[in-house]
Structure formats: structure tokens, C-alpha cells
């Protein structure tokens, strides 16, 4: 008998036709696999690299069974439909992950086509940079910074001078004119603009 079922018997969790409702992360252990008790639904989810946010509900999650976990979207953004807040990132901006790989300009255009107030995400703090990398669930992701107009002078996707530039060791190395976020170190690196990467769009409500 798995710990999941034992937890239900001990804690009096609900399990029936609608699924298994957890009370804490401890209720979501299946053998050697540790899960998360999602606060929005009280269903268990488990790590899954194929999901945008890295977690998927199991088959006991009622109407959410086997679906990827998606964050709760604040009620505020009718001006940014499909965008979500990121934990630990203040300022009211919202974000949307483009899961397909494409070159820098294609991703930048895709953000602008979503709505007029959207652009390739521009990290302003270490917390925002880390959150963007986590959202991408990939080793690297495009951010809205480049020096295509004037080599060595980095500007943001909004046309402003880039002031937050936590370059990784040896970066920028002039290998390219566009900028990627590197998940493993929460740093930036330059990259040829033709490289094929995921991207995060940012929207200002």
C-alpha cells in the first residue's frame, strides 16, 4: 500500500469519484516519488519536464487528472490575457512562455503580435532573472536585450539602455548580438541572434 493511500486513511483525506484530495505535500508521496499538494486544487502533482511549469497532476486529480499544473491567474489582467504572475517578482508585470524554439527576431515579433503592450521579457532584478529561467524549463531562454544597433551598447526590447547585466564568466564574448538567460547560474550570455531558443514575453497591464 502506498504512502498516498496510508496518508488518506490516517488524515481522513477525501478520495472518491472526484479524486484524492491532499492536505499537505506529505500526502503526495508515491513510493520514492515526492509530489506537491497544489494549494489551488488540493490535488497532488508530480515533476514532469514536459509541462511548462514543471508539474503534472496524476490520475487521481478529478477534472484536472493528468493535466499540467498551471498557476492561478490574477483577476486583474484582462489587458494581458494568457499571461501570469511569477512568484517573487514585484511590479505587477505578467509573463507568457513561448514553448517553441525560434530565433531572436521571430520570438520578439511573436511577443509584439500577442498584444501591443507585450515584448521579450527584460529582467530587472536577480529574482526576475531567476523566475524567467525557471519558467522556461530549459537551460537557456531569450531575454529582450541586444546590441544589434551599436556593438557593446546593450538596449532592452523597449528601446531603453540595459542597466541590469549580470554577465556570466567571460561574457559577453562577442559571439553574438542577442542575449540569453542561463538557468544554471542565473546569469546572462551573448548568443548569435539566429540561435533557436524558447522565449518569455512580458506584458504591462
pLDDT of residue 18: 58
56 lies in the same domain as 98: no
What is the average per-residue pLDDT within 145-155?
A: 96
**pLDDT band at residue 134 under the 50/70/90 scheme:** confident
Handedness of CA 181, 187, 191, 193 (dihedral sign): positive
pLDDT of residue 80: 83
In this structure, what is the dihedral angle of CA atoms 179, 167, 155, 85, given to the nearest 10 degrees?
Answer: 70
pLDDT single digits (tens) 81-115:
888 888 767 777 889 999 999 999 999 999 999 88
Q: Is residue 83 part of a domain?
A: no
Interstrand relation of 33-34 and 29-30 (parallel, antiparallel or unpaired):
antiparallel
pLDDT of residue 110: 94
The range of the structural domain enclosing residue 44 comes to: 3-64
Cis peptide bond prior to 172, omega within 30° of 0: yes
Rounded to an integer, what distance in angstroms lies between the CA atom of residue 50 and that of residue 7?
A: 28
Rounded to an integer, what distance in angstroms lies between the CA atom of residue 164 and that of residue 156?
A: 10
pLDDT of residue 73: 42
108 lies in the same domain as 179: yes
pLDDT single digits (tens) 186-195:
899 999 999 9
29 lies in the same domain as 126: no
End-to-end C-alpha distance for the chain, whole angstroms: 49
116 lies in the same domain as 161: yes
In this structure, what is the dihedral angle of CA atoms 168, 172, 174, 176, given to the nearest 10 degrees?
Answer: 70
Q: Is residue 116 part of a domain?
A: yes
Q: b vs e for 57-75, b when ≥16 Cβ sit within 10 Å of the residue's Cβ?
A: bbebbbebeeeebeeeeee
**pLDDT band at residue 76 under the 50/70/90 scheme:** very low
Amino acid at each position: 500500500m502506498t504512502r498516498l493511500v496510508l496518508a488518506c486513511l490516517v488524515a481522513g483525506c477525501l478520495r472518491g469519484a472526484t479524486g484524492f484530495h491532499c492536505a499537505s505535500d506529505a500526502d503526495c508521496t508515491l513510493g520514492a516519488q515526492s509530489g506537491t499538494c497544489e494549494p489551488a486544487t488540493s490535488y497532488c502533482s508530480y515533476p514532469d519536464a514536459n509541462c511548462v511549469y514543471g508539474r503534472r497532476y496524476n490520475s487521481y486529480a478529478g477534472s484536472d487528472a493528468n493535466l499540467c499544473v498551471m498557476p492561478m491567474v490574477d483577476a486583474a489582467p484582462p489587458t494581458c490575457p494568457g499571461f501570469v504572475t511569477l512568484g517573487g517578482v514585484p511590479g505587477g508585470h505578467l509573463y507568457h512562455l513561448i514553448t517553441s524554439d525560434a530565433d531572436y527576431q521571430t520570438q520578439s515579433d511573436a511577443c509584439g503580435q500577442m498584444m501591443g503592450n507585450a515584448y521579450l521579457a527584460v529582467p530587472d532584478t536577480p529574482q526576475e532573472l531567476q523566475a524567467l529561467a525557471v519558467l522556461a524549463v530549459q537551460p537557456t531562454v531569450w531575454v529582450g536585450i541586444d546590441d544589434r544597433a551599436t556593438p557593446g551598447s546593450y538596449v532592452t526590447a523597449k528601446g531603453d539602455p540595459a542597466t541590469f547585466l549580470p554577465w556570466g564568466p567571460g561574457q559577453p564574448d562577442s559571439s553574438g548580438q542577442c542575449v540569453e538567460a542561463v538557468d544554471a547560474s542565473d546569469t546572462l550570455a551573448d548568443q548569435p541572434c539566429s540561435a533557436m531558443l524558447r522565449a518569455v514575453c512580458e506584458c504591462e497591464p
